[in-house]
Structure 1
Amino acid sequence: MCGLAAILAYGAEAPPPDRAELLAVRDAMVPRGPDGAGLWLDGRVGLAHRRLSIIEITEAGAQPMATSDGRLRVTFNGEIYNYRALRAELEAQGVAFASHSDTEVLLHLYRRDGIDMLRSLRGMFAFALWDEERRGMLLARDPFGIKPLYIADDGRTLRAASQVKALLAGGGIDTCPSPAGHAGFFLWGHVPEPFTLYRGVEALPAGGWLWVEEGGARRSGRHFDLREEALAAQPADIDLGAALRDSVAHHLIADVPVGVFLSAGIDSASLASLAVEVGGGPVETVTLGFDRLKGTHADEVPLAEDLARRLGTHQRTQWVGEADFAEARERIFADMDQPSVDGVNTWFVARAARQAGLKVALSGLGGDEMFGGYDTFRQLPRMERLLRPMRLLPGLGAGLRFLAAPWIGRFASPKLAGLLELGPRLSDAYLLKRGLFMPWELKGVLDPDMAAAGLEGLATRSRLAEAVAGLEGDMRTGVLEMSFYMRNQLLRDADWAGMAHSLEIRTPFVDVGLLRACLPALVGPHRPAKRDVARSARLPDSIISRPKTGFTVPVSQWLGLGGPSSRLWAGLVHGRFTAGDVR
């Protein structure tokens, strides 16, 4: 995992890329790549890279990397887990390699297949590839959006980088506020893609690609669409254990040790067990505990440590208290690339893993989304079923919400005002469940004009409905969770919080190979659940039977917040970004 930067001055009137700007963007990402740095400039294009060496740790893996004839150059962030199989295939066709890097596989695969090569990749990735012969740049991002890629295009020059703050560090970016970005943050607790807080910066869509030529001609498309994958799946029995072992085996590929974040939850416990089994020996496990939760039902340390003893892992438990948070608070704000109400726990466990000497750690992120672990999988269908008759009176729910919204928050959750308006459709109910503030509340936390413009730009209910059109059963909830909460909150938090400590966080449950292996069962009548995952990993009953509690971080207690802590924390975070303190 690394940091990439790219500039293409495609417009005839655009000045050539500025070396100082490209260096500023690159070196704003030093924690993403402390092991090396590279820069290449040629006329109207420039590529830069910060390296965290994990596969091919010699200088042969340095970037930007070029083919021997100089036609192709790439700057790449992430890992291609099936690169060995792809390399063997290319070698059988006569391709000669100069390194053992997955980056070099990208170059030769592109030479053979062009943009279609994206469909062959299994991994987490974002890259910018320059084709000298065609005088064009290809930008691409992995299927789930595990790795970020942000773009700024002023009509003459295209800029791209792994972080929003890195682009800002280079200057020349339109930093006027994006109403959709600001409204989206308060609506969800994160900034939903493709928006950022800035009008001039957007995210390349997950599973998407963009081709821009010198002169400005461009094409874009998608190499992966979660909804289409689900619609195409046909029910069938699967070997869940084999699929899980295959994903874990691929995610253990590295030239450095790979650890595991271990809690008392089924997801991380399953990964630890499978990693020991597949890896053939002890692994490093890291557990985070909070002083304020010690001895309570929310304390996951005792069960995690017991499992570590059973598995024979090298266990490290890191306790975090109020003083630790107070000391780290400014650093956390500085490391946060876009505002988020989450990620503090990941920041601390990533720090503990790096202090243990790890560069790579597996996370159980994605297990709940894939295998129905959240209560949304039960609550949303029930809400839709009970309130479906309200669809016959579409104006009634909105009218009751208008009447109730001004006062209901004094007695109950403000969300209750929208129950009859949003509850009758599962996609709308998802907003009701996952939303931080409701749309009608935004004018109370933002300038009313910005809130109105932001809501129009977000088109939230339309986007939610489109994401699940044609899907049935639990796949609707699963696709919503993977496409919104997981992508925009969990994966993004894992990226910035891990990279803050030069730690690569890998997510075996968020894997295109695992998804495609499991989809026949996920769309079938016997959908695998979290307990099936646990049994496949041979976990003890103490873990399997433990009720799901979620991972609790006592931020509200540390800050002395009263009332809804996530909403108050959101105000603090947003204030730090808009005050200009965090860039």
Structure 2
Amino acid sequence: MNPLPTLYGLIGKTRHGIARIRDGLATLLPATFPAAADHRWHQMPEGVALWSPQAAVEGRSVLTWVGGLYASQTGPAPDLLPTLQRRGSAGLRDLAGEFALAHWDGDSGQLLLARDPLGQRHLFIREETDCYLICSALEPLLADPAFACELDYESAFNYLSFGMPLAGRTLARQISRLPAGHCLSGRPGQPLLSQRYFSPLSHDQQKVVDAPYQQQLIATLDDAITRRVVEGRQALLLSGGVDSSYIAGTVARRFGGERFDAYTIEFTDPGTHNEVDFAALVAKEAGIRHQPVPLGVADALKGLERVLQAAEPCSAWAAITHWHILGEIGSQSHQHLLSGLGADEVFGGYSRYLRHYRLLRLFDADWPHAAQIDAADAVLWNPQLTRSKHFPGVPRFFDDIALRQGLAEPYRGWNFAPLLATFYRECRQIKPEAHLFELMVAHECQHRIPDLLFTDFEPIGRELGIRTAYPFLDPAVVQQACALGASERFFVENGRWRNKKALREMAVGRVPEAVLRRSPMSYNAPFVIWMTDPAFGARVRSLLHESGLAHSGLVSTAWRNKIDQTVRSLASRRLPGQQKFAEQMWAFITLAGWYERWVERKLPASFGGAAPTAAHAEAGLVKV
């Protein structure tokens, strides 16, 4: 494994760039890439440079990577370099874990870049005139004093709409992101070509769960959990829901509860809902130590400032609570954490799934089947139908009305339908008979999980020295769960829709009945209540009204004032069903904070306006 916590590399893009790499990198090396003498880097005469690599076959095959792999169901974790030497990109399909890698094959003269199937690790490419700069973290590419960061307005539009940049891009022009489950290959002096090597869509899984298949699902999920348990004590995020409770019940049964410590956020501000009682019940039955972690508005303000320092903005305000709870977990010397994140996406936990399923089923009922084309495909031929019928993702901050009213010209006329259609066309090529839930789960696995959730949460854990494992996002679990049909996801009980039917049935006997039968309730962070605090509210409004982004012409002054006034009224009257305005405010202010730091470079710092971080210390540029 790469001894540096970050992967760094260069590849010549032109003949001139290749020559400059051969001549010693002096004029190409960014100030934020490691240059200290004790950081070994390997320079290839062909015009490729990789930092801290593993080498084999007399240096002709070179690998640098970050992350970690889990054992397979049949044996230990594979040795990555021999696997890539032997199988190339085909070897990526059998890997479970988190990784970003760069592999140079000297015999073929080809560089392979890859990112893990669900995108827990990131890989960024900054395109310069003569070379591609490669890094598994965004900050070294942004903080480079020679880089003049400009906002990618198309990605900003997508961020306000869905909480993430455009697929394959970042908010910074010139810097792209390798999509999850994809690899890039290329030779120096030639373009880098993208290829998908993983999809949650599979032809070998069942849509309906019978008794034998339920046992197979349980075995696959339990195996994924077991392979992520480490020796010694391990922390567990315990929300009191079915997902994390399933993990708690499983590890207690297999290893004994005394090896685990469970942590649950407890909001302390008046008027907030908490899951502490449910989590405590689960922990007690499993014999696991349980610790509530109180969080009030003063803690939230500290977390807000940490969130605003991120190299990528966090569109989920749960990032505030994540900073707080992981800080507590880290203070108790934990380095390994189990999380139930991903179960809602792959097993079906969101009402938005059900709404879009209904929309397409109604369209299908009215579609003239004599036309000899599937209704799901037919929608893709009409941009307006694509926009309204096909599932665009769970988070929707600026909806169509907000985009029309809030954005200035020409941005209010932009349309995400062509990109949505491109994704679903690819899915239909991979699996022509894929049903609607498979398509929606595939969308979440390609977009929301890697480029929103992991973007928001993973950098926090790495900065605090905590490695988080996500059993529900094991590739084998994802492919089996993705295939489940509507009847295995949602059901009606006592006149109300309930979710995750298959998972609830799998959990009988290891999750308390009270948790399985609990009424649906939102346990979201109380952002609106925090806005009533003078310090917290003032910090948010300064970004809303005074930031450079506020005056960039992207979002109108009238709309920003409307958001502010609406959120103020929500805080005083607690109106139900109006949280979307607070979410729109959050999306804008996190984007504004990113814009201030990286485009305007307003924060005091030593590198072009960016505060020195652990990445700079790692590179030997600052002392900590």
For 1:219 and 1:256, locate their aligned partners in 2 and report how far apart those are by CA, in whole Å. Answer: 43
Check if 1:532 corresponds to 2:505.
yes
Other-structure match for 1:554: 526
In structure 2, what is the equivalent of residue 288 of structure 1? 265
Distance 1:249 1:24 in 2: 39
Please, which of 133, 139, 164 is the counterpart of residue 159 of structure 1? Answer: 133
Per-residue CA deviation, residues 331-374 of structure 1 (Å, 9 max, x unaligned), is: 22113523424322222222222122111211111111221121
Instruction: Give the 3 Å change call, closer, same or farther, for CA 200–423 of structure 1 in structure 2.
Output: closer
Residue 166 (structure 2) pairs with residue 209 (structure 1): no
1:571 to 588, 597, 600: 588
Q: Provide the residue aligned with 1:489 in structure 2.
A: 452
Counterparts of 1:559 and 1:189, CA distance in 2 = 20
- List aligned pairs for 1:280-359, cutoff 5 A: 280-282=256-258, 283-292=260-269, 298-335=273-310, 337-342=312-317, 343-359=319-335
Correspondence 1:139 to 2:116: no
Distance 1:181-1:72 versus aligned 2 partners, 3 A rule: same
Which residue of the partner structure matches residue 436 of structure 1? 397
Stretches of structure 2 lacking an aligned partner (at least 5 in a row): 369-381, 490-500, 533-566, 571-580, 604-609, 611-624
Structure 2: distance between partners of 1:432 and 1:281:
36
The 2-side partners of 1:531 and 1:310 are apart by: 17
Report the equivalent of 1:248. 225
Let me know the Cα RMSD of the aligned residues: 3.3
**CA distance 1:552–1:336, shift in 2 (3 Å):** farther
SS of aligned partner of 2:312 = coil
Identify the residue that residue 90 of structure 2 maps to in structure 1.
Answer: 116
Match of 1:466 in 2: 425
Deviations along 1:411-451, one digit per CA (max 9) or x if unpaired, are xxxxxxxxxx9997697353496421134643654452355
User: Is the contact made by 1:442 and 1:448 (CA closer than 8 Å) also made in structure 2?
Assistant: no
- After TM superposition, the structure 1 = structure 2 runs for residues 503-522 of structure 1, keeping only pairs within 5 Å, are 503-518=466-481, 522=484
The Cα shift of 1:524 comes to 9.0
The one-letter code matched in structure 1 to 2:53 is P
1:544 aligns with 2:516: yes
CA distance change for structure 1 residues 463 and 216 in 2, over 3 Å: closer, same or farther? Answer: closer
Partner of 2:549: none
Answer yes or no: is the 8 Å Cα contact 2:303–2:320 preserved in 1: no
Amino acid at match of 1:372: G
Q: Secondary structure at the match of 1:430?
A: coil
Mapped contact 1:388–1:425 kept (Cα < 8 A) = no
Q: 1:519 to 1:179 in 2, by over 3 A?
A: closer
SS of alignment partner, residue 398 of structure 2: coil
Give, in whole Å, the separation in 1 of the partners of 2:42 and 2:180: 28
Partner-residue secondary structure (3-state), 1:138? strand
Residue 22 of structure 1, CA deviation: 5.5
Distance 1:387 1:519 in 2: 23
Helix, strand or coil: the match of 1:226?
coil
Aligned residues of 2:221 and 2:477 also touching (Cα < 8 A)? yes
Give the partner amino acid of 1:565: A
Distance 1:157 1:86 in 2: 40
1:276-320 alpha-carbon deviations (Å, 9 max, x no partner): 2233452121211111267x5x21112212221221213222111
Question: Deviation at 1:163?
Answer: 2.3
1:263 maps onto 2:239 in alignment: yes
Structure 1 residues 435, 83: closer, same or farther in 2, change over 3 A? Answer: same
Pairs within 5 Å for 1:229-244 = 229=202, 231=203, 233-235=205-207, 237-238=212-213, 239=215, 240-244=217-221
Q: Distance in 2 between matches of 1:83 and 1:171?
A: 43
Q: Does 1:380 align with 2:356?
A: yes
1:136, CA displacement in angstroms? 3.1
Closer, same or farther in 2 for the Cα pair 1:194/1:383, shift >3 Å? Answer: same
Q: Deviations over 1:378-417 (max 9, x none)?
A: 222233445668889xxxxxxxxxxxxxxxxxxxxxxxxx
Segment of structure 1 superposing worse, 3-12 or 301-310: 3-12
Change (3 A) 1:86 1:19: farther
Call closer, same or farther: CA 1:323–1:333 in 2, change over 3 Å. Answer: same
Equivalent position amino acid for 1:492 in 2: T
Higher mean C-alpha deviation, range 131-140 or range 350-359: 131-140
Are the aligned partners of 1:150 and 1:162 in contact in 2 as well (CA < 8 Å)?
yes
Once the two structures are superposed, residues 551-573 of structure 1 have per-residue CA deviations (whole angstroms, 9 ceiling, x without a partner) of 41112221234352111112211
Secondary structure in 2 matching 1:529? helix
* 1:428/1:464 contact within 8 Å kept: no
Q: For each residue in 1:142-168, what CA deviation from the matched residue of structure 2 results, as whole angstroms up to 9, or x when unmatched?
A: 112222111122352111212222211
Aligned residue for 1:335, secondary structure, equals coil
Against the structure 1 CA distance between its residues 243 and 449, is the aligned structure 2 distance closer, same or farther, given a 3 Å change threshold? same
Match of 1:371 in 2: 347
Distance 2:306 2:338 in 1: 24
**How much has 1:232 moved relative to structure 2?**
5.4
How far has the Cα of 1:577 moved from its partner? 1.6
Give the counterpart letter for 2:223 in structure 1. D
Partner of 2:15: 12
1:150 lines up with 2:124 in the alignment: yes
Q: State the one-letter code of the partner of 2:179.
A: P
- Normalising by structure 1, we get a TM-score of 0.78
Q: 1:165 to 1:390 in 2, by over 3 A?
A: farther
CA gap of 1:346–1:42, structure 2 versus 1, over 3 A, is same
Deviation at residue 260 of structure 1 after TM alignment = 1.1
Secondary structure of 2:81's counterpart equals: helix
The 3 A distance-change label for structure 1 pair 132 and 170 is farther
Q: Which residue of 1 aligns with 2:378?
A: none
1:247-295 Cα offsets, whole Å, 9 max, x none, are 101222x46643211111111111111122233452121211111267x
Q: CA shift at 1:218, angstroms? A: 4.2
Q: Secondary structure at the match of 2:410?
A: helix
Matched with 1:55 is: none
TM-score relative to the length of structure 2: 0.73
The amino acid of 2:221's aligned partner reads: L
Q: Tell me, in whole angstroms, the C-alpha distance in 1 between the residues paired with 2:304 and 2:482.
A: 41
Q: Does 1:194 align with 2:168?
A: yes
Partner of 1:182: 156
Structure 1: how far apart are the matches of 2:515 and 2:67? Answer: 32
Q: In 1, distance between residues paired with 2:242 and 2:426?
A: 28
Aligned to 2:562: none
Structure 2 counterpart of 1:480: 443
